Amino acid sequence: MHILEARNLCHTYPGGISALNNVNFIVPRASSIVVLGANGAGKSTLFRHFNGILFPTSGEVLVHGEPITKKNLKEVRKTVGLVFQNPDDQIFSPTVWEDVAFGPVNLGLDPATVEHRVSESLALLRVDHLADRPPHRLSGGEKKRVAIAGVLAMEPQVLILDEPTSGLDPQGVNELVDFLKTLPEQYGMTVITATHHVDLVPEIADVVYVMAGGEICARGTSDEIFVQDDLMKRARLDVPILRKLICRLQENGVEIETGSSFDEVEKTLRLRLTKA
């Protein structure tokens, strides 16, 4: 049984706007999944179905094999936590501490457990020094970390992040990527990330779903996805810069595997230059 699954999921907004069309999506435990797509591909709409913010026009979403309904929303949201693209849509309490505590308090946890979870989440995201600060006085990167901490404090089994690197500087992106890598291995958490920044995908994804026009166009590893030029054009996506470099090297007679990592490319070039 998969921890989270969508079956033939369709969603039409008022006015007849079709946002999702027969989406099938499988989420294994303790995995890292990237949903890749241009703006307007349907990623955010899909994610809002995964924890019951939206309900299907047809099809279904299952958590632990059970369809999401209005009756089991509280249990669903214990299991599946969603971090919005814009943290201002998620942070609303007078202080950072109160905001991160909001979820655990509404789960009905005792004060000691709430305090432990909040302290642990703030420390994990390295924002514990901001605990007493009003959220409106935070930077964009700090708000993003606080929003993630608020979801982690509920200890979900699945963490969903919608464009988590938007608004972050390069150092913030690197720190967030390093953090996300630890969650499946160290905490057994499943992470689902939506992005259109393709250079991040090989670093964090076990499995990649490509979306365009509200549909799943492809599913595979990053190596399998990024060699499909027609797919990338259809989805209005670029390929990672490392993939471009590998293709250029191959065109110029350098023997190198398509799925090589940055370190492998560097090693190949060093050997090539040594022999030159």
DSSP characters for 188-207?
--EEEEEES-GGGHHHH-SE
Q: Which residue ranges does the chain devote to CATH 3.40.50.300?
A: 4-238
pLDDT of residue 202: 86
pLDDT of residue 276: 61
3 state DSSP class of 125:
coil
pLDDT exceeds 80 at position 57: yes
The DSSP result for 223-244, as a single string, is: HHHTT-HHHHHHTT----HHHH
3 state DSSP class of 83:
strand
pLDDT exceeds 70 at position 50: yes
Give me the half-sphere count of Cα atoms (radius 13 Å) on the Cβ side of residue 265: 15
Q: What is the mean pLDDT of the chain?
A: 91
Q: Check: CATH 3.40.50.300 for 4-238?
A: yes
| Cα-based distances in Å from 177 to 32, 49, 78, 195, 201 | 11, 25, 24, 12, 10
Number of Cβ within a 10 Å radius of residue 16: 6
Q: What is the arithmetic mean of pLDDT over 105-131?
A: 94
pLDDT exceeds 80 at position 272: no
Q: What is the arithmetic mean of pLDDT over 144-169?
A: 92
Angle (CA) 143-148-152 rounded to 5° is: 145
- Over residues 65-81, the pLDDT tens digits come to 999 999 999 899 999 99
Only one residue has tokens 């409106």, namely 136
